[in-house]
Amino acid sequence: MKVRVRYFAMLRDAAGVAFEDVAGDFASPAELWAHLAGRRAFPLGPAEVRVSVNAVYVSFDAALRDGDEVAFIPPVSGG
């Protein structure tokens, strides 16, 4: 499967890209995060970020499907 991962704010700075397509066998955002965090020096841990799939907030153990757009949401600061 392949998913598109989008990065914002401090996670985008850490990743060096705004998005990337990642191939692998990821059952959930939790598995995807573990894979990505093994390759990159993220400044945040999984307990500090939320996750969305196809622009809807979901839990870290939600199911992932081929072609999903996944975003790990660092602490927000709107307003």
Partner 1 sequence: MFRLQDAPLPTPAGLLPADDPACGGLVAFEGRVRNHDQGRAVTGLHYEAYEALALSEGQRILDEARVRFAPARVAAAHRCGTLEVGEVAVVVVAAAPHRQEAFLACRWIIDQIKERLPIWKRELFADGTSAWVACGCHHQEPGP
Q: Could you list the residues that contact partner 1 (CB under 8 A)?
A: 6, 8-10, 13, 48, 52, 55-57, 71, 73-79
Query: CA–CA distance from 11 to each of 1, 25, 65, 66, 76 (Å)?
Result: 23, 22, 23, 23, 12
Residues 79 and 60: their CA atoms lie apart, in Å, by: 26
Residue whose CB is less far from partner 1, 38 or 79: 79
Residue whose CB is less far from partner 1, 25 or 49: 49
Tell me if 55 sits within 8 A of 68, measured CB to CB.
Answer: no
CB of 64 to partner 1, least distance (A): 17
Strand runs (DSSP E) across 1-79, as ranges? 2-6, 19-23, 50-53, 56-58, 69-73
CB of 25 to partner 1, least distance (A): 25
Residue whose CB is less far from partner 1, 25 or 47: 47
CB of 50 to partner 1, least distance (A): 8
